[in-house]
Amino acid sequence: MSVLLIAGSPSERSRTAALLRAVGERLSLRGAQVSELRVRDLSPQALLLADFSHPSVLQATAQVAAADVLVVATPVYKAAYSGVLKVFLDVLPQDALKGKTVLPLATGGSPHHMLALDYALRPVLQSLGAKSILPGIYATDAQVVLNPEEGYTIAPDISARLDEAVNSLVDDKLWRTFSNAGRFSPVPFSQVRCSV
């Protein structure tokens, strides 16, 4: 299973990045091939001018296309996901997430903005064709604490939800692999025979 972690924070070091890293570490331990895309590293001019042919946009689009699973993380500003993430999602092809499973993550200063995942981000992910969008995980500043030495501490309740989400991602991928393994060939309805 290939997983792309999409960091939608404009900051280099953030609670959003810490939450995303925690998911990536858990997925790596479960055998997933994990890579990361930091939207802040893409050409700002290309994103703002919707330059679909810019090399950084083409490379990012290719990373999205190659992944089975996307984990999209964003800080919440003014009850919505980040503008950095918005301009990136705007340059993706309309069917960029077709057939993909997505886990949305968000961080914010208080619990008052947790619905931004469901009312702002989820509709955009659906419009891009995501096959399955897992329940989002929202963490407040108090639940993801950045330590001075580049580390972070995640509250036990958020950690448990991350474990549950990773289990869902891995189980979904295993089920799809098993169901596509071809144990039985499809039978057209016209060939179905019934005997009593």
In our burial notation (b when 16+ CB lie closer than 10 A, e otherwise), range 145-159 reads eeeeeeebebeeebb
Say what the pLDDT of residue 176 is: 53
Q: Residue ranges of the domains in the chain?
A: 2-191
State phi, psi for 145 to the nearest 5 degrees.
Answer: -105, 125
> In this predicted structure, which of 16-25, 140-149, 155-164 has the lowest mean pLDDT?
140-149
CATH architecture of 2-191: 3-Layer(aba) Sandwich (3.40)
Query: How far is residue 20's CA from residue 162's CA, in Å, rounded to a whole number?
Result: 10
Q: What is the mean pLDDT of residues 50-77?
A: 94
What is this structure's pTM?
0.84
Token output for 146: 């950045």
